[in-house]
Amino acid sequence: MPPSIPTFSTVPPSTSFSKLSFPAPHVLLVTLSRPKDLNCINSAGNAELVQVWQWLDDEPSLRIGIVTGEGRAFCAGADLKEWNTSISFASPKRSPMPASGFGGLSRRIGKKPVIAAVNGIAMGGGCEMIINCDIVLASAVAKFALPEVKRGLIALAGALPRLVRTVGKQRAMEMALTGRSLNAHEARNWGLVNEVVDGDAETVVERAVELAKAIAENSPDSVVVSREGVLLGWHGLGAEEGTESLIQGSWKRMEGGENMKEGVKAFVEKRKPRWVDSKL
Per the annotation, the verdict on 78 as an active-site residue is yes
Residue 48 annotated among the catalytic residues of the structure: no
Q: Is 121 helix (H, G, I), strand (E, B) or coil?
A: strand
Catalytic residue from among 126, 148, 159, 216: 148
Q: How many CA atoms lie within 13 A of 156 on its CB side?
A: 8
* Cα within 13 Å of Cα(64), Cβ side: 29
d(CA 240, CA 124): 35
CA distance 71 to 99: 28
- Helix or strand (DSSP H, E) at 84: helix 80-89
Among residues 45, 69, 104, 125, the one annotated as catalytic is: 125
Catalytic-role residue among 73, 76, 78, 201: 78
Q: Among this protein's residues, is 125 annotated catalytic?
A: yes
Q: Clarify whether 258 is annotated catalytic.
A: no
3 state DSSP class of 211: helix
N-term to C-term CA, the chain:
34
Per annotation, catalytic residue among 48, 70, 128, 228: 128
Catalytic residue IDs: 78, 125, 128, 148
